[in-house]
Chain A
Amino acid sequence: QKEVEQNSGPLSVPEGAIASLNCTYSDRGSQSFFWYRQYSGKSPELIMFIYSNGDKEDGRFTAQLNKASQYVSLLIRDSQPSDSATYLCAVSNFGNEKLTFGTGTRLTIIP
């Protein structure tokens, strides 16, 4: 079983709609949860991180964490063509020393 799992996609969403990206993890001791965005040919960049159960909002982005279900998600409201990218879920270990990434979900926003 992979430690961090994401649906690889591609996920196609109409412009202006809500994009929903999901991630599950296997280590119950995981402490921090991150969403990175990676454009084709570029390096990953942080969108947001979360470490408490519940929702965390930042502009058009909302991260949701449910530790009991070992599930973290990212919602993108009012999707824009510039949101088209691969979204990487990352989870830190108990000591926050290591980061494990999922394989990423490729998101395409259709104008």
Chain B
Amino acid sequence: EAQVTQNPRYLITVTGKKLTVTCSQNMNHEYMSWYRQDPGLGLRQIYYSMNVEVTDKGDVPEGYKVSRKEKRNFPLILESPSPNQTSLYFCASSRARVGGNEQFFGPGTRLTVL
């Protein structure tokens, strides 16, 4: 089944404790992206990657890191999480650039930073 998977689905952590949210897709998609969704602010793009070893900042990259060493994986790293990073995170992938291409979203990761 074609899908985007994220792990973990739920995470409660404390300020400053490094964490990684994994994202994997099995559709051989070139483009992958991370979003966060907050009430009243909608979905905001954190980072995106147009191919292996090619990543760039979205609209809200502060406090996050990403890497794209393999085509299928695009982990999101929070080196020192803070409470303002409490949010619902979505990973997405598409065949190529977003223009004219459907983005397939993962199920989401709900992160709480205490």
Contacts and interface: CB of A to CB of B under 8 A. Distances in A.
B79 interface: no
Interface in B9-58: 33, 35, 40-45, 48, 50, 56, 58
Given A97-B56, A99-B45, A44 B105 contact: yes
B45 A44 contact: no
Interface residues of A, number: 22
Contacts, number: 57
10 contacts: A31-B99, A43-B105, A49-B102, A90-B43, A92-B97, A92-B98, A98-B98, A101-B35, A101-B44, A102-B42
Given A97-B56, A99-B103, A44 B43 contact: yes
Contact of A104 (B42, B90, B98, B100): B42
Most B C-beta atoms less than 10 A away, residue of A42, A49, A92, A99: A99
B99 A44 contact: no
A59 interface: no
B43 A32 contact: no
Contacts of B56: 97
A32 B45 contact: no
A49 B55 CA distance: 25
Interface of B: 33, 35, 40-45, 48, 50, 56, 58-59, 90, 97-100, 102-103, 105-108
A1 interface: no
B11 to A, nearest CB: 17
A46 B98 contact: no
B interface, over-half SS: loop
Given A44-B105, A98-B48, A98-B58, A88 B42 contact: yes
Contacts of A99: 33, 45, 98, 103
A43 B107 contact: yes
